[in-house]
């Protein structure tokens, strides 16, 4: 048993402080992304989710320049962009894509500037890699508390908004008829989405946070029949991929000594595998022939 | 025609309304009553003003003249509940939502907080599913259901809050002939059993002719209303159109033929041959 454990888990995994921080922050990011991602996919807003996380990279790179907690940087920029995208008030899918694309371009332009300044005026090395692709083992322990707090706020917000959010995600007009303030719900949802993407940006990086947001939710929607089970399944997949990814990355230090592989690679690879294994073909009930009720 | 002296049993009182959109009168001098338990169709070609009339009743458009009143059973103050099923709701097959979940959202989808298990709610949902004869597919994903099945679920979603009036915009438009007839019969039945006034719009009246209590026939922004026998007559519709109109009954279908020369005649030809175009 002990030998098997040693093969699966390299020594030091359970006592290493960086690993602990990675597990805690990763869990927060996974749970929030799993929950929020289900609504993102239902609402057809995957592109908005991706754009938000890309734009948040401007905040992340700015935080290195200002020597503040990167999570606050990611979060501030994502919240700003989400508010901007929603308050632009575009109601039609194509216009919304356009507004999202414009904000996305502007955000990445800022990120390019800040990352250049990072490398010129600070001694930070590898800021670009950390911001864009994440460095889970380099997350400072102090971030764990902040990340848990952000995650808690996001989960409580979704729990409070659950039913109106679900109904607007199913069909906004049905929700409006039912007396739901559709515009307000959409704005609040975008703010919660910015919490989710900033948490995953600090975990797997701004570019890859889309994978954590969309992958588990897409897999869950392929098999779940009920919103609650879709949310739980997405959380399980996200958490499983994140923790297993952390373990594999830690182990990989033994495969290529001194050069552990990036955690984000393993997380995203596991998410892709789970999607291919269970989520790819939505269970479709054949429609009855014409005339049958 | 004045409906000032409407009996208080009427769920809906539309009194000489005129609606102007973009400087153009869309409907004018339209009046009718609808009692609880009554099922009525707003019939007309595309552009006749059906959607405008429904939206005005729902309070989404303002009448420049006339009034719309909705009364609950006691005739008391407060906003009576109105159910509405919008046009062309077709849900995505990938939504992780069973048909019964959508019905439950009709009851409490506007409430904050997580839906805690509630036997009372489950019972109400089961009752509504039974009322629309949807128990057989209640646990399927709602987006995978056929158009007719989805309409039944949307009706249950709208009725579960016990509205005094249910308004549906073209619920039969995308259904095949059999499904349309079956949904129309269900609505007529529900109006009686659920004690609700049901008003729906349709460009093809044929699935409704045998089951509707009243017809509001719209043409050129004006309305003729009454029972099917009262309205679907050559002289009544000729006056409405301002042109000679024949009402022909052939193979259990009613065809309204507008005399050539009316610029809008082609519209009506497609309308009444049961054309399936949607607006």
User: Interface pTM (ipTM) of the complex?
Assistant: 0.84
Nearest-Cα residue of chain B relative to residue A286: B144
Taking residue B251's Cβ as centre, other Cβ atoms within 10 Å add up to 5
**pLDDT score of B4 more than 80:** no
**pLDDT score of B279 more than 70:** no
Rounded Cα–Cα distance for residues B279 and B270 (Å)? 13
Which of B94, B113, B139 is opposite residue A160, by nearest beta carbon? B113
User: What is the model's pLDDT at position B273?
Assistant: 41
SS3 content of chain A, % helix, strand, coil (to 5): 80, 0, 20
Which residues of chain B does A220 touch, with a Cβ-Cβ cutoff of 8 Å?
Answer: 96
Domain CATH code at residue A58: 1.10.3470.10
Query: Does A79 reside within a domain?
Result: yes
Calculate mean pLDDT across residues B153-182.
Answer: 92
For the ranges A180-184, B245-249, B273-277, the one whose mean pLDDT is highest:
A180-184
- Residues of A contacting chain B (CB within 8 angstroms): 38, 41-42, 159-164, 166-167, 170-171, 173-175, 177-180, 220-222, 224-227, 229-230, 282-285, 287-288, 290-293
Rounded Cα–Cα distance for residues B57 and B94 (Å)? 34
Which of A226, A283, A293 is opposite residue B179, by nearest beta carbon? A293
Which domains are seen in chain B, by residue range?
1-81+163-225 (3.40.50.300), 88-161 (no CATH)
Structural domain harbouring A213 = 18-278
**pLDDT score of B272 more than 50:** no
pTM, to two decimals: 0.85
Residue A74: exposed, middle, or buried by beta-carbon count in 10 A (0-12, 13-18, 19+)?
buried
More confident residue, A202 or A12: A202
Which residues of chain A does B103 touch, with a Cβ-Cβ cutoff of 8 Å?
Answer: none
For the ranges A31-40, A47-56, A206-215, A257-266, the one whose mean pLDDT is highest:
A31-40
Angle at A44 between CA B169 and CA B157, to 5 degrees: 35
Which residues of chain B does A171 touch, with a Cβ-Cβ cutoff of 8 Å?
Answer: 89, 91
Taking residue B74's Cβ as centre, other Cβ atoms within 10 Å add up to 9
User: What is the model's pLDDT at position A242?
Assistant: 95
Query: Does A5 reside within a domain?
Result: no
Calculate mean pLDDT across residues A20-25.
Answer: 91
Q: Are B141 and B97 in contact (CB under 8 A)?
A: yes
**pLDDT score of B164 more than 70:** yes
Digit-coded pLDDT (tens) for B190-242: 999 999 999 999 988 888 988 999 999 998 888 998 988 888 888 888 888 88
Digit-coded pLDDT (tens) for B228-240: 888 888 888 888 8
User: What is the model's pLDDT at position B56?
Assistant: 93
Query: Does A225 reside within a domain?
Result: yes
Query: Does A293 reside within a domain?
Result: no
Domains of chain A: total: 1
Which residues of chain A does B149 touch, with a Cβ-Cβ cutoff of 8 Å?
Answer: 288, 293
Is A178 close to B114, i.e. CB distance below 8 A? Answer: no
Query: Does A283 reside within a domain?
Result: no
- How far is B142 from chain A, CA to nearest CA, in Å? 9
Digit-coded pLDDT (tens) for A56-102: 989 988 988 888 888 999 999 999 998 888 877 666 667 778 888 88
Q: Above pLDDT 90, what percent of chain B?
A: 52
- How far is B59 from chain A, CA to nearest CA, in Å? 11
Q: Are A100 and A46 in contact (CB under 8 A)?
A: no
Query: Does A191 reside within a domain?
Result: yes
User: What is the model's pLDDT at position B76?
Assistant: 59
- How far is B265 from chain A, CA to nearest CA, in Å? 31
Mean pLDDT, rounded, of chain B? 85
**pLDDT score of B126 more than 70:** yes
Give the count of alpha carbons within 13 A of A51, CB side only.
25
Calculate mean pLDDT across residues A226-245.
Answer: 96
Which residues of chain A does B95 touch, with a Cβ-Cβ cutoff of 8 Å?
Answer: 42, 170, 221
- How far is A170 from chain B, CA to nearest CA, in Å? 7
């Amino acid at each position: 048993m002990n030998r098997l454990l040693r093969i699966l888990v390299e020594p030091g995994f359970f006592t290493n402080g960086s690993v602990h921080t990675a597990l805690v922050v990763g869990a927060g990011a996974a749970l929030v992304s799993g929950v929020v991602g289900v609504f993102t996919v239902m609402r057809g807003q995957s592109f908005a989710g991706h754009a938000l996380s890309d734009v948040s990279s401007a905040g992340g790179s700015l935080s290195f320049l200002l020597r503040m907690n990167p999570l606050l940087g990611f979060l501030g920029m994502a919240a700003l962009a989400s508010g901007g995208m929603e308050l632009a008030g575009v109601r039609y899918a194509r216009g919304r894509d356009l507004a999202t694309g414009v904000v996305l371009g502007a955000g990445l332009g800022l990120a390019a500037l800040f990352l250049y300044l990072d490398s010129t005026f600070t001694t930070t090395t590898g800021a670009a890699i950390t911001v864009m692709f994440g460095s889970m083992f380099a997350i400072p322990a102090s971030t764990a508390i902040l990340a848990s707090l952000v995650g808690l706020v996001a989960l409580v917000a979704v729990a409070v908004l659950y039913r109106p959010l679900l109904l607007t995600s199913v069909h906004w007009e049905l929700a409006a008829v039912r007396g739901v303030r559709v515009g307000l719900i959409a704005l609040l949802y975008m703010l919660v989405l910015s919490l989710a993407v900033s948490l995953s940006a600090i975990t797997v990086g701004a570019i890859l946070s889309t994978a954590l947001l969309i992958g588990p939710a897409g897999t869950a929607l392929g098999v779940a029949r009920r919103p609650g089970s879709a949310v739980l399944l997405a959380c399980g997949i996200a958490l499983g991929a994140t923790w297993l990814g952390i373990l594999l990355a830690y182990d990989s230090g033994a495969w290529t000594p001194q050069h552990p592989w990036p955690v984000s690679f393993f997380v995203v690879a596991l998410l892709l595998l789970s999607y291919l294994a269970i989520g790819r073909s939505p269970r479709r009930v054949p429609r009855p022939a014409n005339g049958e009720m | 025609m004045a409906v000032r002296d409407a009996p208080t049993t009427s769920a809906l009182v539309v009194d000489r309304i005129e609606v102007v959109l973009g400087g153009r009168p869309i409907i004018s001098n339209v009046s009718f009553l609808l009692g609880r338990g009554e099922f009525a169709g707003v019939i007309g070609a595309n552009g006749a003003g059906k959607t405008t009339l429904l939206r005005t009743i729902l309070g989404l458009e303002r009448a420049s003249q006339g009034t719309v009143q909705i009364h609950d059973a006691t005739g008391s103050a407060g906003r009576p509940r109105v159910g509405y099923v919008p046009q062309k709701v077709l849900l995505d097959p990938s939504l992780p939502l069973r048909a019964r979940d959508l019905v439950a959202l009709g009851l409490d989808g506007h409430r904050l907080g997580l839906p805690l298990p509630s036997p009372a709610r489950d019972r109400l949902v089961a009752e509504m599913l039974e009322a629309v004869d949807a128990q057989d597919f209640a646990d399927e994903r709602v987006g995978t259901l056929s158009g007719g099945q989805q309409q039944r679920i949307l009706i249950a979603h709208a009725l579960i809050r016990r509205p005094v009036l249910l308004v549906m915009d073209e619920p039969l438009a995308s259904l095949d002939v059999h499904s349309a007839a079956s949904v129309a019969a269900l609505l007529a039945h529900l109006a009686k059993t659920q004690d609700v006034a049901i008003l729906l719009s349709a460009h093809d009246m044929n699935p409704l002719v045998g089951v509707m209590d009243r017809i509001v026939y719209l043409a050129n922004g004006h309305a003729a209303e009454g029972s099917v026998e009262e309205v679907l007559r050559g002289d009544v519709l000729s006056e409405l159109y301002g042109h000679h109109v024949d009402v022909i009954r052939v193979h259990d279908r009613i065809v309204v033929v507008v005399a050539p020369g009316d610029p809008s005649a082609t519209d009506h030809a497609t309308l009444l041959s049961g054309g399936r175009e949607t607006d």
